[in-house]
Amino acid sequence: MKCDIPIELLSGYLDGVLDNKLKAAVEKHLKECESCRQELEELKRMDEYIKRQEVEEPSRDFVFALNRRVMEKIRRKPRPFLVRLTPVFAPAAIALLLFIVLINTVPRQRLIGIESRILYADMEIEREEEIFMAKPHTARAAAAKEKVYEREADRAAAPSGLVIAETEKKIDAVDEAMLNDFEVQVVQLDIPRKTVVRAIVDSTGKVLKVATGNTISPEKDTMLENRLEGQQLPPPTVAGRRTQLYVDYTAEEESND
Amino acid sequence: MYSSIESDEILIKRVKNGDCEAFNPLVERYKLALYKLMYRMVYNRDDAEDLVEEAFIKAYRSISRFEIGRPFYAWLSRLAVNNAINFLRKKKRGHLEPLEWSEHRLVAEKQNPVAMTREKMLKERINKAMAQLPQEYRTILVLRVNDELSYEEISEVLKIPKGTVMSRLARARQRLKEIFKEMEVHKHEM
């Protein structure tokens, strides 16, 4: 007959951990229940088996040298935390150092950014002597200007606001031909006055991006960009090296004098 | 030099006061008991020996956390058992291979072949059955039956409530009985 006494009670009884009341109840039940007596005997047999479980003899080294090994290790003072981390962080620190050195020594293509722009108003560069000037294409620029003025002459008003004259004074700073061509390109578009036109010109002289406005993030002017994008200007050079430039052009009111 | 009759408590107080040499008698006193416990958990002599060494070093390094007056071996076995459980998890050895017969036992077998063969077969079955037990059942049976730890000590070692000790022990014994029965069935089938 199967008995419904919990196995925990029999197991606890075997271990002698039941309180007196439970112990008496189990003993009373065992007297009456053959099945539970058998179950208890089975559990006892399992414990006997566990006790007879084979354990391999430890090695001679373990028996005779374990104390020495343990004592040697505990006599040694544990290394400070940072020293223990050295094997992990040292390679990382070296890699970081190499990265910093490489990033500062290997020449890389300069990305165009706000720091690359050259304002007409800022063309008088303080360290002028260090800048090698590209030979101004004066004839070409003059021809382009004349062309512009011819067109403008047809209009009631001249293209006042052009800062070409001012540009000529400051031409010592940046490649004149490229800037003049850019002026010509912009003037031909007849853009509203007092508009700042900004363009990114790559090192081959090709106009990449065009926008308007005098803020950090100029507004995109799709029409203007469609007209100017891809236009070929003379390659800009600064200090004798071809470079990308971020150029501004401002059409200002022409002064009466 | 420390006498082997000095109590655990006196030795531990000295260790806590910075006298590391007082730890040596504790290693001597408990290394074999701890080896048997570790062996029954991992069924491999080399692994068991390494685990014993690690347990003693961990015990020394965390001796400041040991409360004087508590049983040292229960605390030491807790460290060792937890270490062994982590070791088994890393090695993914929930079920273990029972041991192989070593050379000295084979020699004894030759001297009294009938008795030794019967004994050998029974022990092989016991080891196989134990190896088939889930790791938490095997551990609790070893702590209770082999190491004769009380329910309170087992509760402390395994960090489980006393009631769970009782129910887990009962289930472990039940499961071991079932495994033996299954092995009997296979034996008769063969």
Q: What pLDDT, on a 0 to 100 scale, did the predictor assign at position A255? A: 43
Which tens digits make up the pLDDT trace of B65-102?
898 888 888 889 889 998 998 888 887 654 555 544 44
User: By residue range, what is the domain housing residue B57?
Assistant: 8-189
Structure tokens at B104: 């000295």
Q: What pLDDT, on a 0 to 100 scale, did the predictor assign at position A240? A: 65
Q: Which residues fall within 8 angstroms of residue A170, CB to CB, at 6 or more apart?
A: A120, A123, A124
* Closest residue to B49, CB basis, from A43, A54, A58: A58
Q: What pLDDT, on a 0 to 100 scale, did the predictor assign at position B164? A: 94
Q: What pLDDT, on a 0 to 100 scale, did the predictor assign at position A111? A: 56
Burial code (b: 16+ CB inside 10 Å, e: under 16) for A13-43 equals bbbebbeeeeeeebeebbeebeebeebbebb
Q: Is residue B56 part of a domain?
A: yes
Q: Is residue B1 part of a domain?
A: no
CA distance to partner chain A, nearest, from residue B105 (Å): 10
What number of helices (H) and strands (E) belong to chain A?
9, 7
The list of chain A residues with pLDDT below 50 reads: 1, 120-138, 148, 150-173, 253-257
Distance CA A121, CA A166 (A): 9
> Which three-class secondary structure state does DSSP give residue A201?
strand
Q: What pLDDT, on a 0 to 100 scale, did the predictor assign at position A84? A: 64
Q: Is residue B154 part of a domain?
A: yes
8 Å CB contact between B22 and B3: no
> Which three-class secondary structure state does DSSP give residue A198?
strand
pLDDT score of B49 more than 60 = yes
Q: Is residue B83 part of a domain?
A: yes
The verdict on ipTM greater than 0.90 is no
Chain B, nearest residue to A71 by Cα: B24
> Which three-class secondary structure state does DSSP give residue A57?
coil
Q: Is residue B139 part of a domain?
A: yes
Question: Which of A9, A15, A43 to mutate against chain B (most B CBs within 10 Å)?
Answer: A15
Chain A, nearest residue to B151 by Cα: A17
Phi-psi category of B66—alpha, beta or left, where left has phi over 0 and alpha has psi -120 to 50? beta
Cα A202 to chain centroid, rounded: 25
CA dist list (Å): A201 to A134, A210, A231, A234, A243: 16, 9, 9, 10, 9
Distance CA A56, CA A61 (A): 14
**% chain B with pLDDT above 90:** 38
CATH number at residue B94: 1.10.1740.10
Distance CA A46, CA B137 (A): 13
Whose structure tokens read 């960090």?
B159
Question: What are the φ/ψ torsions at residue B161 (nearest 5 degrees)?
Answer: -65, 160
* Closest residue to B28, CB basis, from A8, A17, A67: A67
Which of the pair, B35 or A121, is modelled with greater confidence?
Answer: B35
Distance CA A196, CA A252 (A): 9
Q: Is residue B2 part of a domain?
A: no
CA distance to partner chain B, nearest, from residue A37 (Å): 15
Structure tokens at B62: 């965390």
Chain A positions touching B126 (Cβ under 8 A) are: 49-50, 52-54
* Closest residue to B126, CB basis, from A49, A71, A78: A49
CA proximity to B47, closest of B86, B102, B15: B86
Which tens digits make up the pLDDT trace of B129-147?
888 889 889 999 999 998 8
If you count residue pairs, one on A and one on B, with CB atoms under 8 Å apart, how many are there?
110
Q: Is residue B3 part of a domain?
A: no
Total domain count, chain B? 1
Q: Is residue B32 part of a domain?
A: yes
